[in-house]
Structure 1
Amino acid sequence: MGSKAISKLSDGISQDLFEFAGYDEEEAKRAGYSNYSYWRSTWQVFIKNRVALVLLILMTTVLVFTLIQPYLPNQKLPTKIYIDESTGMQLSNHKPDSEFWFGTNSIGQDIWARIWSGTRTSLLIGLAVGFFEALVGITVGAMWGYIRPLDRPITEVYNVINNVPKTIILILLTYIMRPGLGTMIFAMCMTGWINMARFVRNLIIIIRDREYNLASKCLGTPTRRIITKNLLPYLVSVIMLRMALAIPLAIGYEVFLTYIGLGLPVSIPSLGNLINEGRLLMMAPSLRYQLIFPALVLSIITISFYVMGNVFSDAADPRNHV
């Protein structure tokens, strides 16, 4: 378009439609402002998955009820043996009714109370082992992967521990030490961090030599800050998945050790003890409720943690944020 045509076009436009924009320093600062929040975006992506949201509500309800159950009215003791008033004998294998909601076991103990007491015990084991595995595994794995002089000695320690089957270590520790809750947690913690450390180490090696990490190192950034600010945030999604799966895995090991006779004493209710007791009676159709109820609670916990862990892992990936 020629200059004459532009001049004619401008003559036909009212100057009242335009005004000079004033400079505002505060507004200029907000030009690059973003209200993006990593954890808020992660939560928003997570709740879009209806299945995971329902399981989160279900697990929250189970956890809260497990904690408050002993303080609710008309609750029975998990270790008390109840007597049949008409016979004066133990109320053995009493079927579920309005008084004993889940029935009684072979010596007259209330299965309802034992299930929730056992759930508290198993969740305590799972959470303790899971957090220990995350703390030690992530710390050792990050140093193992980033600090090159530590690679050889930690690798040798890993090879020694990893070449002995985990099940053998668990069995030996629980056999040598006095059976109890502390022994169970200690045995699992001694072996649980190995896989997490190896997993984190492999991921750290992949990203440790990227440009922004090399630039930080050249600028004199401390190693601790590079690991905590540059490396680990990049791995949040996969680390959270492993942490979520570590909890049901620890509960599964507790059930396994109890199944082979090296778990918690019978005097300490746990899901492993309850399932082991019910397993002996599953061939009798009228007594299968003693296996079904604890197995159902265990299935809800393990499936919920597995599904929520996978969904949260996807939600924690910044590439899925809007």
Structure 2
Amino acid sequence: MAAAVSSPAPTPVNFILRLVSRKTVLIGILALFAVAFVAILAPVLAPYAPNKLSVVNRLKPPSATFWFGTDEFGRDVFSRTIYAGRLSLLVGISVVTFAAIFGIALGLVAGFFKRLDTPIARIIDAMMAFPDILLAIALVAALGPSLLTVIVALGIVYTPRLARIVRASTLVIRELPYVEAARALGVPTWRIMTRHVLRNLVSPILVQGTFIFAYAMLAEAGLSFLGLGVSPEIPTWGTMIAAGRQYIGQADWMTLFPGIAIVVSVLSLQMVGDGFRDLLDPRLRKDL
């Protein structure tokens, strides 16, 4: 009787090919790369300085000179929009990093050590009982508005989301035979947690990380819209929309283009996250 041959593990190239085989995921990746490319090269692509005032050109409609028009101070909306993308990407990356460091640590400790599970789980549930934006507003109001405060506040808000997923997966993995075998062989606890448990949590962490990235960018825009974000002189999509609402009847481009930038960025991240989830989840992989 011939021995059964197991299928080889997918290579990174095969993983990428299967990921982009879905049109929605491919569109999301291209849109995300376009936003990141334009934001990173903003000093090169921007025709004007983002805070350059020109009162004689105030509220000019989109034209060959000002592609996205100008605002109430004559500042170029196109330049401010692409510069604002840099801050949104910075906030998103920083929040994901913050949530990953503390969320993974809390989730692993709660799921692996039974004595610490109940208190950590109750803290996670209590934090998730508050709406995200309200908790972020309370934290920013208590710490004072600044870029660092926004990152820390949103990191605290989204850490429980990741910690809860890591904890739930760790509760299952710690009871599997290979973990029990490692314990029986005297493998140190930290090595079991990192080598045998954490390595099997990459998929849910990666998927949740893309969603947290999108939520963080949207929350930062909301805080800036409410005046609780970074300093007003720093261009952000939220502050641009907040300033444009006063001129919505005569200069709708002031809110239109920053709003489109938010929608494209968040929607592309959501599409990429859905693609990762469908590919990495065995129950949904057949749909790819």
2:49 is aligned, of 74, 77, 83, to: 77
Q: Counterparts of 2:275 and 2:125 in 1: how far apart (Å)? A: 32
Larger mean CA deviation between 111-120 and 168-177 belongs to: 168-177
Give secondary structure in 1 for the equivalent of 2:67.
coil
Superposed CA deviations along residues 65-100 of structure 1, whole A, max 9, x for unmatched, are 21112124x72011111142xxxxxx2211111111
Superposed CA deviations along residues 118-157 of structure 1, whole A, max 9, x for unmatched, are 1111111111101211222112101210122322342354
Q: Counterparts of 2:35 and 2:131 in 1: how far apart (Å)? A: 34
Q: Is residue 36 from structure 1 mapped to residue 2 from structure 2 by the alignment? A: no
Q: Counterparts of 1:205 and 1:33 in 2: how far apart (Å)? A: 28
Q: Counterparts of 2:278 and 2:65 in 1: how far apart (Å)? A: 45
Change (3 A) 1:42 1:139: farther
Q: 2:76 matched to which residue of 1? A: 110
Per the normalisation by structure 2, the TM-score is: 0.88
Q: 1:268 matched to which residue of 2? A: 234
Q: Is residue 211 from structure 1 mapped to residue 168 from structure 2 by the alignment? A: no
Superposed CA deviations along residues 148-170 of structure 1, whole A, max 9, x for unmatched, are 23223423543554455544442
Q: 1:116, CA displacement in angstroms?
A: 0.7
Superposed CA deviations along residues 210-262 of structure 1, whole A, max 9, x for unmatched, are 22221221122222222223223333322211100001101111122223332
Q: Counterparts of 2:19 and 2:41 in 1: how far apart (Å)? A: 28
Q: Is residue 67 from structure 1 mapped to residue 40 from structure 2 by the alignment? A: yes
Q: Is residue 253 from structure 1 mapped to residue 225 from structure 2 by the alignment? A: no
The runs of 5 or more residues in structure 2 that have no matched partner are none
The runs of 5 or more residues in structure 1 that have no matched partner are 1-31, 85-90
Identity of aligned residues (%): 29
Q: Check whether the contact 2:224–2:236 (CA below 8 A) recurs between aligned residues.
A: no
Name the larger-Rg structure. 1
1:227 is aligned, of 179, 193, 198, to: 193
Per the normalisation by structure 1, the TM-score is: 0.79
Change (3 A) 1:154 1:263: same
Superposed CA deviations along residues 38-79 of structure 1, whole A, max 9, x for unmatched, are 53442232121122123212221221121112124x720111
Aligned length: 283
Q: Counterparts of 2:167 and 2:208 in 1: how far apart (Å)? A: 14
Q: 1:266, CA displacement in angstroms?
A: 1.6
Q: 1:296 matched to which residue of 2? A: 260
Q: Counterparts of 1:278 and 1:252 in 2: how far apart (Å)? A: 18
Change (3 A) 1:316 1:112: same
Larger mean CA deviation between 148-157 and 246-255 belongs to: 148-157
Change (3 A) 1:64 1:146: same
